[in-house]
Structure 1
Amino acid sequence: MFEIFASTDAWVALITLTFLEIVLGIDNIVFISIAASKLPVKQQKKATNWGLALAMIQRIVLLIGVSYLIALQEPFYTINNSWISAGLSWQSLILFFGGLFLLYKSTSEIHEKVEIPKHDETRIKQKNLTSLSRALVQILLIDFIFSIDSILTAIGMTNGLGEKPEDAIVIMVIAVVISILIMMIFANAIRKFINDHPSMQLLALSFLILIGFMLITEAAHLSHTVVFGQEIGAIPKGYLYFAIAFSLFIEFLNMRLKKKINYVEEVNTESDN
């Protein structure tokens, strides 16, 4: 089962996916924290930890379920006319609509965070919670919504890795477990870091656009889609990994530059005084 980790691609996918799961889970942490804040102080930490633990179990179950659906590769309908031909399977349909969903979710989230930065907090504060059980139910419902793009991201990052379908599931489950455990331990620190550097979350949402486009092309490739005589090929995942790594490198350089500029401005201010 763990032979997949003899591959460098598997380790790169695991590290990258874990990072994306953490960054994309920031909204989830914000929602959980606000939901838990409606409870007595003694129950807030318990609600946060139990909420994240149940969220982890829920995501693993959903991952396994969706992964087995994607394993259905046999075409059940064939399109064949003068300009397009394709063999539709459950695998290609899930990847295609999953890619469309990621494109929609990422662009709408970027718009809302830029135009209405407090929309998450405002929406959740409108609901009153009176018990730990109600808080956990709401946390699970919230996580289910956030799990959709998380699961599709995981599938997009690991699809095609390994010789057996179980190989990709192992990587996805490990990434989810690691990311949730890190969020449970460092929830407040992670939230503070993202609040101080909101561009990191926008960068992660931008990665979803790349992954969504890759899922759509992967769906077309797996269904052997031919448009005007040209067969659509799959995008090598190495391109995606390079784009993510390069973007993160530039962002960290930008963060260091901002820190240096702020330090120089503080020194100049003190010298002027």
Structure 2
Amino acid sequence: MIEALGIFTQAEAWAALVTLIVLEVVLGIDNLIFVSILSNKLPEHQRSSARRVGIGLALGMRLVLLSAIAWLVGLTQPVFDLGLAGPADAHGNPGFETSFSWRDLILIAGGLFLVWKATSEIHHNVDPAPSGDVFASTRKVLGFGAAIVQIILLDIVFSIDSILTAVGMTDDLPVMIAAVLVAVGLMMVAADPLANFIGRNPSVVMLALAFLLMIGMVLIADGFGVHVPKGYIYAAMAFSALVEGLNMLSRRRASARGDDAAGH
């Protein structure tokens, strides 16, 4: 144990830890958005508990996967090949991937689930309940147990992607464990404020669902061997969030001016 902790006396280990924490936090945004949207469909007294349970399960899965790294890395080995040859590019590489590993299949399944979930939620938001509550039309058919099951399904997908990324960044298990603990701890702190903010702003709900739809498509593409750089995805998400923030500020100031005019 002492030998394992001794690695933190090295500057390289701290540099890897900080880099990995930032990366894990960024990768955890997807998971946190999904948990926030799903928990907001529950009765108010169950929402916080669902978020805590969901994020706690995410932590547990990541630690379990870290303890079985050899098995996890084995998930990247091809299990079958369709035997199709895509057109080669200028470098002689095939145009698309025809062999699939368990990781590919898990990413495709998770992506399809996210696309289905985001699409169905967008439909309910476009055609809301007469009461005006954007979650009222679906909350009655979703219980606490069903929400946790759905969170677990996506936790598996996001956890595998997260840990495989960690394995690619460093070979030191203590660094990986520390990064995961810090990143999931930050997710736990941010869960309630993010979910409450999403719940108070219907336009943000639609933006978050669009993010999930995009993430689902990226997971499917990744499973088929089309690797979209994550930096592009998160840059697009950040730009969209900035535009929405400006829209919210504009609406708030317009509302304030309207109230001032009515007061006079």
Give me the TM-score of the superposition, normalised by structure 2: 0.69
Q: Which runs of 5+ in 2 are unaligned?
A: 1-6, 87-95
Partner residue, 1:250? 243
1:96 deviates by 1.5
Identity of aligned residues (%): 23
Change in CA separation of 1:254 and 1:242 when aligned onto 2, cut-off 3 Å: same
Does residue 214 of the first structure (1) align with residue 218 of the second (2)?
A: yes
1:147 deviates by 3.6
Equivalent position to 1:98, from 95, 107, 110: 110
Give the length in aligned residue pairs: 235
1:82 deviates by 5.5
CA distance in 1, matches of 2:42, 2:48: 10
Secondary structure at 1:88's aligned position in 2?
Answer: strand
Change in CA separation of 1:48 and 1:270 when aligned onto 2, cut-off 3 Å: closer
What does 1:42-121 correspond to in 2, within 5 Å?
52-64=51-63, 71=73, 72-81=75-84, 86-116=98-128, 118=133, 120-121=135-136
Secondary structure at 1:80's aligned position in 2?
Answer: coil
1:245 deviates by 1.0
CA distance in 1, matches of 2:200, 2:47: 22
1:25 deviates by 3.0
Partner residue, 2:151? 146
CA distance in 2, matches of 1:216, 1:151: 15
Partner residue, 2:254? 261
CA distance in 2, matches of 1:206, 1:123: 18
Partner residue, 1:181? 189
Partner residue, 1:135? none
Secondary structure at 1:25's aligned position in 2?
Answer: helix
Task: Write out per-residue CA displacement over residues 142-168 of structure 1, whole angstroms, 9 at most, x where no aligned residue.
Answer: 223234335545655775452459677
Give me the TM-score of the superposition, normalised by structure 1: 0.67
CA distance in 1, matches of 2:97, 2:183: 37
CA distance in 1, matches of 2:163, 2:65: 13
CA RMSD of aligned residues (A): 3.7
